[in-house]
Amino acid sequence: MGLVACACCLLAAAAPLVDDSPDDVIRRANAAFLAGDRDEANRLYTVAEELTADPGLVAFNQAAVLFQKGEFRDAEVHYARTLDDPACPPERAVKAWYNRGTCLLRRGGAASVYRSAIACLERCVDSSVADEPLKADARHNLEIAKTLWNEARKADSKERPNSPPPPEDPRNDEQPKPQPTDTEPQPKSPEPGNGNTGEPNPKTVPQPPQPVPMPNPNPNGNPTQGTPGAAPQLNNEDAVQQLSPEDTRAHLRRVAERLEKDRRDLLRTLYPQYKPGTRDW
């Protein structure tokens, strides 16, 4: 009997109050998110999903929680659901494109993932609705996505030398359509609260993911040397050096750039008529 009573208490705690409106639940979820209680925010967004007439907003906010928890695949799926909503406002959609592209960039791995990230980020950059700060973040992540995409394509060509080369420019491909899966993710920037109450507006969306913390590209698309965000140089030591995934990618990119330069120098030596812009395959 005690177990039954305990279970009933848990169910009562998990359920919203009868008088709670969808906006009230979303406000509470937003407050939990801003307070850093991700589990409670996720629980309340799940409750709101069953009550709200705007499921795209809930999916968008729930994606922010998943992104902060490092569950980038689930977050990306939630952003896809937001974009799949026919009633999605343009302002929310452009943030969802940016966030979805950033989730794909965080996932990384295959060239196809980076290519999808590029397509999403370009939708944000090309949007007339996005403000300049959001476009600047999107351009920053876009340069990184293109660099990692090229590296992944080169790695694929080495593993499958007889396969046809991948397309040169992802903008020539069809834009990726939202692919809903079991779960859905995403986060976005907050809007003004309700007057002076300090409460988040129910239409508020949590803060979006920041640009990927990797070397900032300069106007030529190359990493800027000596900037605070630049990856550290590897030291010639016997001990194993611990690198973050971002630093590892930055280091591998620099190695690839150096090898490419050496290859071009060798071609100039062997073939004096060789021009840098000439394709050699």
| 22-66 pLDDT per residue, tens | 888 888 988 989 888 889 988 999 888 888 888 899 999 999 999
Q: Which of 88, 21, 35, 84 is nearest to 206 (CA)?
A: 35
What percentage of the chain reaches a pLDDT higher than 70? 53
CB atoms within 10 A of CB 75: 31
If one counts the domains in the chain, the total is 1
248 part of a folded domain? no
Handedness of CA 261, 265, 270, 273 (dihedral sign): positive
- Residue of 184, 60, 173 lying closest to 118 (CA atoms): 173
How many CB atoms within 10 Å of residue 211? 18
Pick 254 or 68 by higher pLDDT: 68
Mean of pLDDT values over 195-209: 40
Q: Is residue 278 part of a domain?
A: no
Is residue 145 domain-resident?
yes
Pair of tokens at residue 59: 């999916």
Q: Measure CA of the first residue to CA of the last residue in the chain; give whole Å.
A: 76
Higher pLDDT, 46 or 203: 46
Least confidently predicted of 154-158, 176-180, 209-213, 249-253:
176-180
d(CA 278, CA 154): 18
Confidence of residue 174 (pLDDT cuts 50, 70, 90): very low
pLDDT of residue 180: 33
Report the pLDDT averaged over residues 220-228.
35
Cα 117 → chain centroid? 8
Contact between residue 45 and residue 29 where contact means Cβ atoms under 8 Å apart: yes
Domain that holds residue 183: 19-223
Look up the CATH number of the domain holding residue 155.
1.25.40.10
The whole-angstrom separation of Cα 78 and Cα 32 is 19
Q: Pick the more confident residue, 173 or 101.
A: 101
Other C-beta atoms lying within 10 Å of the C-beta of residue 182: 7
Any domain includes 214: yes
What digits encode the pLDDT tens for the residues 122-156?
999 999 999 999 999 999 999 999 999 999 998 87
Task: Identify the pLDDT of residue 265.
Answer: 67
Which residue did the predictor score with more confidence, 202 or 152? 152
Please, is 80 exposed, middle or buried when counting C-beta atoms within 10 Å of its C-beta (0-12, 13-18, 19+)? Answer: buried
Least confident among 72-86, 95-109, 147-161, 192-206: 192-206
For residue 97, the tally of other CB atoms under 10 A from its CB is 26
If pLDDT is split at 50, 70 and 90, which confidence band does 167 have? low
Compute the Cα dihedral for 24, 25, 29, 32 and give only its sign: positive
pLDDT of residue 104 exceeding 90, the answer is: yes
Q: Identify whether the C-beta of residue 206 lies closer than 8 Å to the C-beta of residue 33.
A: yes
Instruction: Please indicate whether residue 64 or residue 208 has the higher confidence score (pLDDT).
Output: 64
pLDDT for the residue 199: 35
In a domain, 28, yes or no: yes
Question: Does residue 261 lie within any of the structural domains?
Answer: no
The whole-model pTM stands at 0.55
pLDDT at 190: 32
Q: Does 183 fall in a domain?
A: yes
